[in-house]
Amino acid sequence: MNNDNMDHKFLQDVSATGRKRFWRLKKKQSIMLSESLHRLGQNKKGNRVWWCAHELEFVVSEITGRKKLIRAGFCRERLCVMCQWRRSMKVFHQVSKVIDRCLAKDNTIQPIFLTLTVKNCDGDQLREVLDQIFGGWNALTKHRKIRRIQKGWFRALEVTYNQKDGSYHPHFHAILLMDKPYFVGHDYMQTADWVQMWRTSCKLDYDPICDIRRVKPKRGAKHKAVAEVAKYTIKGSQYLYAQDDALTDQLVDVIGKSIKGRRLYAFGGMMHKVAKELKIEAAEGDLVNIDEDAIRSDLAEMIQVYKWSFGVENYVRER
């Protein structure tokens, strides 16, 4: 079939803000991951990723043309690029909702961004280092001073890979909801104070790099600025190298084993309580229904189904 005649059949999807959604790119990256898993002998997992989101079904507004996903068959594997993409969108909206509700309950609280790092490590050390920083986070949030000055928190793990020296860089991005008096009282902490507290909590023998800053949203959209932290995760570009199967396999194996069983995202304090009030489920759950996909049900009158074609490497409309 001539590709020119098929152009109108390829999946075109945009968000409510008009941003293009890259279904094709994410699917191609997930196929790369599947091939790596098969090379590593993880065939069952590789098969799940291979068929992840193979067929997509949308309801479509006949007035606006906007699509809402209603069926996909996501595999939910931790490293699946397609599932990570959907998960990051879901968490973004979850955090945005929680921040909105927290600010409605107490408009004096001030969100701040906190980044906590440790030194880069080798692949055979990554799991141990992750144990160390997760333990450090628990110790930090239980510290009497931190419990006194903040009302709630959200944290997300990110792991990046340095191709120059072959090292891994695990770190946390976090949001803390601070009491207003914190910024004018004796409890205020400079960056150096956070460094020392993180060093102690993580039981490090060096001063780690920490970054702390207030949220400065554009046009007053504080909840959306804060929720940007939720987009931090383990990106496909960090472990999938199209021209280097050996490196890809190494990274998939090391990172996959290291993050197994860990909570990549978590709420605490006031944010945890509000998340429960809003009945927000774990990010690993439903990846089909995401808030930004919502369109009025009375306008969603048309069904469109797209299936992945291995021949043209794209989603092609079936009906």
Among residues of the chain, what percentage have pLDDT more than 90? 59
Q: Angle formed by the axes of helices 23-39 and 81-105, to 10°? A: 120
Residue 3 pLDDT more than 50? Answer: no
Residue 186 pLDDT more than 90? Answer: no
Strands of 167-178's sheet in order across: 210-214, 110-117, 167-178, 150-162, 265-268
Write out the DSSP string of the chain. Answer: --HHHHGGGB---B-TTSPBP-HHHHHHHHHHHHHHHHHTT-HHHHHHHHTTTSEEEEEEETTT--EEEEE------TT-HHHHHHHHHHHHHHHHHHHHHHHHH-TT-EEEEEEEE---B-GGGHHHHHHHHHHHHHHHHHSHHHHHHEEEEEEEEEEEEETTTTEEEEEEEEEEEE-GGGGTSTT---HHHHHHHHHHHHT-SS---EEEEE---GGG-HHHHHHGGGG-S--GGGT--TT-HHHHHHHHHHHHHHHTT--SEEEEHHHHHHHHHTTPPPTTS-SS--GGG---GGGEEEEEEEEEETTTTEEEE--
Number of residues that make up the chain: 319
Q: What is the pLDDT of residue 61?
A: 81
Q: pTM (2 decimals)?
A: 0.87
Residue 88 pLDDT more than 90? Answer: no
Residue 97 pLDDT more than 80? Answer: yes
Using pLDDT thresholds of 50, 70 and 90, give the confidence band for residue 187: confident
Residue 175 pLDDT more than 60? Answer: yes
Q: What is the pLDDT of residue 294?
A: 53
Q: What is the pLDDT of residue 194?
A: 96
Per domain, the residue ranges of the chain are 1-73+288-319, 95-283
The span from the CA of 204 to the CA of 197, in Å, is: 10
Residue 220 pLDDT more than 80? Answer: no
Residue 295 pLDDT more than 70? Answer: no
Q: What is the pLDDT of residue 9?
A: 87
The span from the CA of 293 to the CA of 302, in Å, is: 15
Q: What is the pLDDT of residue 46?
A: 97
How does pLDDT run across 36-70, given as a tens digit for each residue? 999 999 999 999 999 999 999 998 887 777 888 99
Residue 137 pLDDT more than 50? Answer: yes
Residue 227 pLDDT more than 90? Answer: no
Residue 146 pLDDT more than 70? Answer: yes
Q: What is the pLDDT of residue 283?
A: 63
Cβ partners under 8 Å of residue 284, min gap 6: 76, 87
The span from the CA of 305 to the CA of 138, in Å, is: 45
How does pLDDT run across 237-294, given as a tens digit for each residue? 789 998 999 999 999 999 999 999 999 899 999 999 999 999 887 666 788 887 655 5
The mean predicted confidence, pLDDT, of the chain is 87
C-alpha dist (Å) from residue 283 to 91, 93, 266: 6, 11, 9
Residue 91 pLDDT more than 80? Answer: yes
Q: What is the pLDDT of residue 8?
A: 61
Residue 1 pLDDT more than 50? Answer: no
Which of these ranges, 89-98, 163-172, 233-242, has the smallest mean pLDDT?
Answer: 233-242
Residue 6 pLDDT more than 70? Answer: no
Residue 296 pLDDT more than 70? Answer: no
